[in-house]
A and B are shown apart, each in its own frame.
Chain A
Amino acid sequence: MSYRLIIVAIATSLTVTTGYCQSRFTNVTDSAGIKHVFKVFEGMFGGGACVLDYNNDGYEDLYITGGMNDDVLYKNNGNGTFINVFEQAGLAITKKYVTQGVAGADVNRDGFVDLFITTITLRNEKKAIPREINLFLLNNGNGTFRDATSEYGLDSLYSFSTAGNFGDFNADGWPDLYVGNYFNEFYGKLSYINDNTLVGANQISKGYLLLNEKGKRFRNVYADYKLDYRGFGFGGVFTDFDNDGDQDLIVNHDFGYKRTPNMLLENHYPRSNFKDVAKTFGMDLKINSMGAAVGDFNNDGWMDYFITNIHSNWFMVNEGNGKGFVNKTKELGTDFFTISWGANFGDFDQDGDLDLFVANGDLNPNCVAMADYYFVNNGKSFEDKARQVGLNDYGIGRGSVMFDYDNDGDQDLLVVNQESVQPYPVPSVTHLYRNDSATGHWIKIALKGVQAESHGIGSKIEIEVGGKKMIREIDGGGSSHISQNSVIAHFGVGNISKIDKINVYWTGGNKQSLTNVDVNQSITITEIPRKGSNNGLIYIIIGICVVGAGVIFWRFSKGKK
């Protein structure tokens, strides 16, 4: 895109936006007390945001990474404003590090959401090979956090980590983690660095698959789960692409066209392994994959994925029933040329289908301004209405998250922007947008897992309204770029006033339903535990099969003699 065109585009957009009085998203950054910008460390990496209710007061708060700037923990005051409680919450430890992405989950199941923050190096120490540990901050339940990195066994994993995302791949209710690393990782500090170590430093890296051991520790089970690939990792997202009830994993890789393409790792639960089926299903994207928005945009019951990229994004439509994925970005009208990072499927206008927000931004230090997208789902395709609704910010966008910060029932947006290293035509700072446009009815559903993960991470919610079904997966992080959306599922239902049925598919296979639920309310569904564990049942079935096979083998052997 030429600079001249961009300047014209910005001028036009300012004119049009000024004259368009019915903007449906209001930039409330200043009035809400948000004052944040991500500052890069040599290059274009970072940052992200995590939506969490860290103090369980019913208002969703925000943790936003700052890179070379301090991170922030914005406590939601419940009156439309936020206050940064970073220092008093005991998070100052993060100041030592160049932070990147963030995700949250109740790791020890004490009822409070803990934080996992990826880092790439130290802020005030120039290292020959920039690598650092990631930070695990345990929520004390009293408004403060403590550094539990070492206690949870994460203090020897030195990495250039972009994103961490929670899931529960062994369906035991304890949230596990996948961590994407960009440059190769080291176990322990490098005590000796020579030329060979230096030239080997910026090679592709393995990720970490961190199994949560009953809330006490994480253990890297990457190799145990038959994973040995390396790539320029931009994290991943746990998602059930094949509707078999367990959490599979999509892994984003930069430079997939010359190194490792994107991976689609099929979870073979209850066996302890993943298998890459990306090629079989058409998901081995050889692109600069930055992130993935997860959502069933066409309400066919299969999760679709919008993969952000440099140049054109990939809209991977799930054909269902093992038929794989097809990129329909052209047919769906989202094939614009830009550099995209965060992306979020949400029913922003509450008409019963998922719209799509996309955060765009150039690569520091040489940045050309490019606007964010807001694709409205018109049923058969999408139309970018970012300019009309006031979301066409030209800042250097990265992670983006959706949540309902003002508890009015619709989905608001926060977009993390980077500061430009070189002179830039517009201010580039993090923005909070209040959704003032939604007119349809809605329902928000929070999950409370008992056997399943305590906030329902990885579980699926399906609602049935007027013969139509809609599903949402609870995001444990990664359904964007190095960020995590609200764990509260949001559905728009248009003018329908009653939800016929709500089905919750808990990780681990438990299912429960509610019928005739009123719209325009927030509800919490608490899991009704099944008698006997799911694992037990599976092992019984396996046991029967093994015994059966043994008997057959024995008889067969006997017959031969």
Chain B
Amino acid sequence: MIVNVINRKNLFQFLLVSGLFSSCKQEDTRIPEDFEVATAWADMTNYIAKTTPANTPTFSSRCFGYIGCTMYESVVNSSDEYQSVATELNGLGALPLPGQGVKYKWVLSLNAGQAEILRSIYIQTSDENKRRIDSLEQHFEKIFKDKDSKDSNDSKSIAYGRMIAQKIFEWSKTDGGHRAYLKNFDKTLLFENRPGCWKPPLYAQSFSHFPLHPHWGKNRTFIASDSMLSDPVFITYDTTPGSAYYNQFKAVYDKEKALTQKEKETAIWWGDDPDETFTPPGHSYYLATIAIRKTKPGIVKCAETYAKVGIAVADAFRNCWKWKFQFFSERPNTYIAEHIDNEWHSFWPDPPFPAFPSGHAIQASAAAVVLADLYGERFEFTDSAHSGRKRDELRNADFVVRHFNSFWEVAEETANSRFYGGIHTAQDNIAGLEKGKEIANNVNKLNWKKKTN
């Protein structure tokens, strides 16, 4: 355990993670375990995702990828079991190895790396948020650094983590998504206007009438093979009542008319609106934190978890957007209003991008598969992400915490929630879940562990 290398004289005042953002009063006098440091940074990552204006699921998914990779690469060399995956990532190349003869405090490397990558990749966040990042970094430094600052290993550990973050940030700049928050909507975009194609929503989540990040599908994937996945199968457009295409939308319409209270609660729980929350990929990052807090693994497995989930959701969104703009398919609000009921509108407002496949489903599936690989198919936990949020008066539903027995249950509920919300058909969700699995399998296939003979 990394904490073993810490001089026990360095007793500290450790803020519980829940109190880090709001209060300095809740104190603990024990040394935090590695998993607590890792999860504190994941909490900070989600906090920044939630509170940075103009954030999007696309941009944040990419950030989770780079932040997770940074955490992994900043500590992986502490392990005899794990190895760097840098050379397997698309265009990153080998990262510098730690110095010989240095007794690294890996938790300091992790701490410095997370602070550095967050500051860099979320450069658009507020000054107040930047101060929070600095404050968390200093907090852990104070705990883990030699109090007389005489140990040069400390500064080398910090420098190593920072350097890994800088290398990864430099790599990120060329993927097509760098500072993409400045071009969320391409106002010069000319898009199709054929029957069945996406139309700007009227009951909308965004004021934009252009689709979000239309070029995101051209971005570099984290894993090269993820850019070569086969296209999902799309049911042919048909307005004939009873046709397969028609029935997809009729099912959405019928469901909306018969939503149960539990289904309403499910729909709002997984909304994860980027204007108010940490976005859907942030929810997956949060699930990784739940798994870590429950099992308390070592520092490298913590980092592996965030790296895998981060890469999975990033490549899921990149591929999802490729297909969204390739198929450029309509939302139920368009088809149903035209062919079933002119006065209908969905339970949940439309996001500003095409429907097929579902972004919620694909990223939830990708995250669920990597988490199941790490923590087992059966994993019981409670998701309290939105606990305490104000009741949704408009939809007459509360934010009710969820209990699950497996990560796959989460993926399915996430997908279904969009069907309940009336903004996705079943085929959007099924395709998302299927393709998410393929992306996760590619993530799992990387050589995370050294081969043992």
Contact = CB atoms under 8 A, between A and B. Distances in A.
Given A202-B54, A254-B207, A255-B207, A337 B343 contact: yes
Interface in B169-184: 179, 181-182
Interface in B85-133: 123-127
A258 interface: yes
If over half of A's interface residues share one DSSP class (helix, strand or loop), that class is named, otherwise mixed; here it is: loop
Interface stretch (A73-81, A191-199, A377-385): A191-199
Given A196-B124, A257-B349, A337-B342, A366 B182 contact: no
Interface in A177-215: 194-196, 198-200, 202-203
A2 B341 CA distance: 11
Interface string B196-234: 000110111101010000000000000000000000000
Contacts of B203: 310-311
Interface residues of B, number: 34
A311 B125 CA distance: 35
B141 to A, nearest CB: 25
A365 B209 contact: yes
Contacts of A254: 207
Contacts of A44: 209
Given A311-B203, A366-B199, A366-B209, A195 B394 contact: no
B207 A195 contact: no
Interface in B19-60: 52-55
A325 interface: no
A401 interface: no
B273 A199 contact: no
Nearest to B338: A2
A259 B207 CA distance: 12
B62 interface: no
Contacts of A42: 187
A286 interface: yes
Contacts of A198: 54, 124, 181-182
A54 interface: no
Interface string A302-313: 000000001110
A194 to B, nearest CB: 8
B275 interface: yes
A199 B52 contact: yes
B343 A196 contact: no
A195 B179 contact: yes
Given A196-B127, A199-B54, A232 B207 contact: yes
A409 to B, nearest CB: 39
Contact of B202 (A199, A257, A310): A310
Interface in B260-314: 273, 275-276
A43 interface: yes
A200 B182 CA distance: 11
Contacts of A199: 52-55, 124, 181-182
Interface string A349-390: 000000000000001111000000000000000000000000
A310 B204 CA distance: 10
B53 A200 contact: yes
B107 to A, nearest CB: 30
Nearest to A256: B394
A233 B410 CA distance: 38
A143 B59 CA distance: 55
Nearest to A286: B394
Given A196-B125, A363-B202, 4 more contacts: A199-B55, A199-B181, A258-B349, A364-B209
Interface of B: 52-55, 123-127, 179, 181-182, 187, 193, 199-200, 202-205, 207, 209, 273, 275-276, 337-339, 342-343, 345, 349, 393-394
9 contacts: A43-B207, A194-B124, A195-B179, A196-B125, A196-B126, A258-B349, A311-B203, A311-B345, A339-B202
Interface of A: 1-2, 42-44, 194-196, 198-200, 202-203, 232, 254-255, 257-259, 286, 310-312, 337, 339, 363-366
**Which 4 residue pairs spanning A and B have beta carbons closest together?**
A195-B124, A199-B54, A2-B338, A199-B53
